[in-house]
Amino acid sequence: MATDLEQAPLPTVSVRVAGGTHADDLRAVRIVWKRELIRFFRNKVRIATSLVQPVLFLFVLGTGLSPVISTGHHVDFRTFMFPGVMAMAVLFTAIFSAISIVWDREFGFLREMLVAPVSRASLVVGKCLGGATVATFQGVVIVVMAGAVGVPYDPLMILTLIGELLLLAFTLTAFGVMAAARMQQIESFQMVMQFLVLPMFFLSGAVFPLSHLPVWLRVLTRVDPVSYAVDPMRRAVFAHLPLPAGIAHTLEPGITWFGWHLPVLFELGIVLALGVVMLVVAVAQFSRPE
């Protein structure tokens, strides 16, 4: 005869399969974002070397070209270059942060991430947010140097610049992730990015005004997405400088489409729209089977 213990039903424990909920996806976004920050701040050499090039452009190139490039006696050429150098710091850091995707694919870690029970979109979003955060940090370091090149430390201007840097960093990181999504070798990614990054920087108006350009060069500056981030940053800086209207217009003419002077919010909207489009493309690339 069975005892009471044998007849009693065994207790059941509910088991939840991981994945499939928004909470799991948000946790995956946070983990990937945090991983990017940990990798960056543990690599002190990367932090130092990524700042060398912007500092060289701002203080060495800017100082060397100041005597031969006339910007008027009211503004230092380094002051003019300051917004472009901020964009440069973000540009290189944001795009090349995506190189870790190729590295993870080459060494098998990416496969482990892709088979995790979370949506692949959450992995891409986390990667883009992590790269954008790291790149914005690099840009903020350049913002700290504003006083050395004649740019005032106005709180509203600084907050505006940080917001614009974050938007640019997100778009550029999404571009890098989109480009790295199907690449198998680090060398290929580096070559493609080097081919694209320098033209994007120089055509953005970072080191020369966008006024009085030949038609072919004006067209190239209009198709460069970085131009629509550098121009609002330069407007924010020049709005806090005591410059005559003529000199300010020469150095910061803005971007026009067929005679229409683009508003700042419209330019930033272009940057945001491009970032969202490239994020969607990157998600679609990662959703395809390897």
User: Tens digit of pLDDT for each residue in 167-210?
Assistant: 999 999 999 888 887 777 777 777 877 788 888 999 998 888 88
| DSSP H/E element including 257 | strand 256-257
pLDDT at 20 over 70: no
Q: Please, are residues 62 and 88 in contact by the beta-carbon 8 Å criterion? A: no
Query: Whose CA is closest to 255, among 277, 276, 278, 234?
Result: 234
Range with lowest mean pLDDT among 69-73, 154-158, 162-166, 215-219: 69-73
Segment 109-139, tens digit of pLDDT = 666 666 667 787 888 888 889 989 999 999 9
The more confident residue out of 7 and 154 is 154
The answer to whether residue 237 is domain-embedded is yes
Phi-psi category of residue 212: left, alpha or beta, with phi > 0 → left and psi -120 to 50 → alpha: left
What is the DSSP secondary-structure string of 223-289? H-TTHHHHHHHHHHHHTTS---HHHHHHH----EETTEE--HHHHHHHHHHHHHHHHHHHHHHHHS-
The answer to whether residue 205 is domain-embedded is yes
- The pTM for the full model equals 0.86
The answer to whether residue 275 is domain-embedded is yes
Count the domains in the chain.
1
pLDDT of residue 121: 82
pLDDT at 162 over 90: yes
- Separation of alpha carbons 209 and 213, rounded Å: 9
- What mean pLDDT is predicted for residues 135-147? 91
Residues with Cβ within 8 Å of residue 21, at least 6 apart in sequence: none
pLDDT of residue 60: 87
Q: Please, are residues 20 and 117 in contact by the beta-carbon 8 Å criterion? A: yes
Going 263 to 266 to 268 to 270, the CA torsion angle's sign is negative
The answer to whether residue 164 is domain-embedded is yes
Joined tokens for residue 29: 């976004």
Residues with Cβ within 8 Å of residue 34, at least 6 apart in sequence: 130
Exposure letters 79-110 (e unless 16+ CB within 10 A, then b): bbbbbbbbbbbbbbbbbbbbbbbbebbeeeeb
- Separation of alpha carbons 276 and 115, rounded Å: 25
Q: Can you give the residue range of the structural domain that contains 277?
A: 24-287
The answer to whether residue 9 is domain-embedded is no
Phi/psi at 240 (nearest 5 deg)? Answer: -110, 15
- What mean pLDDT is predicted for residues 210-225? 89
Segment 61-79, tens digit of pLDDT = 888 877 766 665 567 888 8
The answer to whether residue 67 is domain-embedded is yes
Query: Whose CA is closest to 177, among 97, 107, 232, 88?
Result: 97
The answer to whether residue 101 is domain-embedded is yes
The answer to whether residue 30 is domain-embedded is yes
